[in-house]
Amino acid sequence: MSLELVGVKKSFDGVRAVDGVDLSVVKGELFVLLGPSGCGKTTLLRAIAGIYGIDSGSVVLNGRDLTRTPMHRRNMAMVFQSFALFPHLSAFDNVAFGLKSRRVGGDEIDKRVNEALALVRLEMLAARYPNQLSGGQQQRVALARALAVHPDLLLLDEPLSNLDARLRDEMRVEIRELQRRLGITTLLVTHDIGEAFAMSDRMAVMREGKIVQIGRGADIYHFPANRFVANFVGPINEFPLTKVEQVSGRVLGLAAGELKVWLPAETADHSVETEPRLILRPENLRVAVTEGSTDNSFMAEIEDVVFRGGATECRLRIGALKLFAILPSADAAALRAGDRVTVGWNAADGVVTGAR
């Protein structure tokens, strides 16, 4: 195990920002802390780095307890959202800065800086100053500076949020490929769902200072622990369940008091949450002009069809209930507002959660 957090708590002026976090990150893993603004993810990252002292709990890296160790002796490196480059220093000297503060010898500094700049493909721009570099190049300099110190743990705090959308996508791939090649244990903070899915080996979803679910991105998306997670990591259809019962060995629910729907089998494995909800991902809905063959199938009317490139959003109404589906655009080409269609889904595609 590389990083181990046990019961980490941190408060500011009596307000608990991190509330008893337990977390294990495996050596060589890229682990993402994901959550909305104010959930405590950046505070937790800075507590790990030693920027903030913690009120209680422990921070252990590679078997060494760092809880009371000052930041400069933790052998970690952080890449900030703002890049935090020194404007009066060249790219070379920005990368060398951390090595000089660690009193690394001159020849070793030259070697490490050149290696780090080569890793991020900037060796030809070593003499340029930050104002002579693009946003993506500045981000690469910040990353090279972090890698040059050979850290045991790389910390990335919203590192791509200041880049435009296309460059952000490119840098996601570059950072992920570089992290895998070096095998460096990395902890990344983001509120961007796509970034978390694209880059993580595993992730933790945070809310109000606590971790509410840990797992692979696909597992969190398809099997959210609660309604908050389901709604945060992607679009959902949601219906209150007014009744849940066993019928012929299967689980049947009454959605919004109107539709009898078959629910996933695991609903029967535990007591149904207070104010249960049925959660359906829009891409799991099947829309067809002929009768469907799914577990749950209903006649519906299309209210709107919105083309979004490779995918099309189809808004439907079943009686008074409204829901939406996301379909491949090729499958939705013939659909029009006002059409009568069947909409359906398989019981296993739904998730039953509580109201929170």
- Of residues 14 and 5, more confidence is placed in 5
Q: What pLDDT digit, counting tens, does each position of 153-191 carry?
A: 999 999 888 788 888 888 899 899 999 999 999 999 999
31, 37, 40, 45, 217 from 34: Cα distances, Å: 10, 10, 10, 11, 11
CA-CA distance, 282 to 77, in Å (whole number)?
40
Average pLDDT over residues 351-356: 80
> pTM for this structure?
0.90
Q: Judge residue 114's burial from the number of C-beta atoms within 10 Å of its C-beta, 0-12 exposed, 13-18 middle, 19 or more buried.
A: middle
**pLDDT of 243 over the 70 cut:** yes
User: Mind listing the pLDDT tens digit for each residue in 219-232?
Assistant: 999 999 899 999 99
